[in-house]
Amino acid sequence: MNASSPTPAPTQASTATLYGGVTNRRVTVRDLAAAKQRGERWSMLTAYDALTGGVFDEAGIPVLLVGDSAGNCHLGYETTVPVTMDQMVMLSAAVVRGTKRALIVADMPFGSYQESPAQAMRNAVRLMQEAGVGAIKLEGGERSARSIELLVEAGIPVMAHIGLTPQSVHAFGGYPVQGRGDEAAHQLLRDAKAVQQAGAFAVVLEAVPAELAAQATEQLTIPTVGIGAGVDTDAQVLVWTDMAGMTAGRVPKFVKQYADLRAVLGGAAREFAADVSSGAFPAPEHSFS
């Protein structure tokens, strides 16, 4: 489906099984574990504010990620690297306030957990207490396992993120596909098993070959969430500004664009400006006598 033939808005019924017929509570990590058992796929979108979070929540998206992609998709940075804990707390709290049913997962930004498990704990607690999210996400496989373990022991649900980890953009020298070649593929599977073993409730697989993602999904008991990882993962995530056509310029190959909001909003703004110039707005019905 492209911008000229937008997909109809999904209804809440699309996630009825995941919600288990319950509509007055938030989705939990246990619901996601049960969905994997049933072989039921689910979707996740990013959200960075109360307004769009509320729209996706009403559309029945069961998991919303306050991604540090806010850096390049919301805050005007080039990458996710400059995003701070204070910014993540503020954005995550807004998404929590704007939603009722989705599980809200907040990203731990660059520099907020790599130093030590104790640092990861301090900052994850901020996201849980100050923003009120239901889970956190952090990047890294084997290298983050100890931190994941500590957070999970403390009762903090953790989503892991392996494959292409955007906080390492400067080390990667860009955003290359990961897991190509035998050694890289084995490392990806080791990372996936390490985060599962550490207690993560799900793992994002970003930009990895579809066959490798399928293999990981088959070998893990926790749900895999794919982005650029083919069709066989348990769930799919997209950055909302990419999937709705708000991103300026090129989007990655793995993005499907379901709307052309940039054109719609730009058109509305141009029409408003033209109406103001011509005196067509405000009309009598927009004015008080």
List residues binding ligand KIV (CB under 6 A): 46, 65, 67-69, 107, 161, 204, 206, 227, 237, 239
70 or 194: CB nearest ligand KIV: 70
| 271 membership: H or E segment, kind and range | helix 261-278
Is residue 225 within 8 Å of residue 234, measured between CB atoms?
yes
Of the two residues 60 and 109, which places its CB atom closer to ligand KIV in the complex? 109
Shortest Cβ 71–ligand KIV spacing (Å) = 8
Q: Which is nearer to ligand KIV, 46 or 215 (CB)?
A: 46
Alpha helical stretches, state H, 173-248: 182-198, 210-219, 240-243
40 is catalytic: no
Comparison of 69 and 247: residue with beta carbon closer to ligand KIV = 69
Minimum distance of ligand KIV from residue 88's CB (angstroms)? 10
Nearest distance in Å: CB 55, ligand KIV? 17
**Least distance CB 206 / ligand KIV (angstroms):** 6
Find all residues with CB under 8 Å of 32, minimum gap 6, and list them. Answer: 18, 42, 62, 63, 103, 201, 202, 223, 235
Give residues with Cβ within 8 angstroms of 162, minimum separation 6: 139, 140, 141, 188, 191, 192, 195, 203, 204, 205, 206
Annotated catalytic residue within 40, 58, 153, 206: 206
Output the CA–CA distances (angstroms, integers) from residue 48 to 86, 87, 241, in the order listed.
14, 10, 10
CB atoms within 10 A of CB 284: 6
State the catalytic residues. Answer: 206
